[in-house]
Chains A and B, each alone.
Chain A
Amino acid sequence: TPSSGDIQLTEEAVRRYLTRKPMTTKDLLKKFQTKKTGLSSEQTVNVLAQILKRLNPDRKIVHDKMHFYLKE
């Protein structure tokens, strides 16, 4: 097993985080750091963008920042 594969950037993982609480893009990127997933920065950005487009989360502004969230 790859040492860098302890966290996986999947739609299900993103869904779980966004159902729990609203998050910014930066919050999400912190959850899926490249050193934890083994993906490159570019892959992380691309995959996360695809997942967010599919999930189509609701958005709200908290402390002047766009946050994404999903209702259960």
Chain B
Amino acid sequence: SSSEADEMAAALEAELNDFI
């Protein structure tokens, strides 16, 4: 579902946050 995709994208961006 698109909401799952949104959640995954948010989780990935959170993972990368320190790095970005």
Contact = CB atoms under 8 A, between A and B. Distances in A.
Given A26-B5, A29-B5, A30-B5, A48 B12 contact: yes
Interface of B is mostly: helix
Contact of A44 (B6, B8, B13, B16): B8
Contacts of A30: 5
A25 B19 contact: no
Interface in A16-41: 24-26, 29-30, 41
Interface residues of B, number: 13
B16 A29 contact: no
A53 interface: yes
Interface of B: 4-9, 11-13, 15-16, 19-20
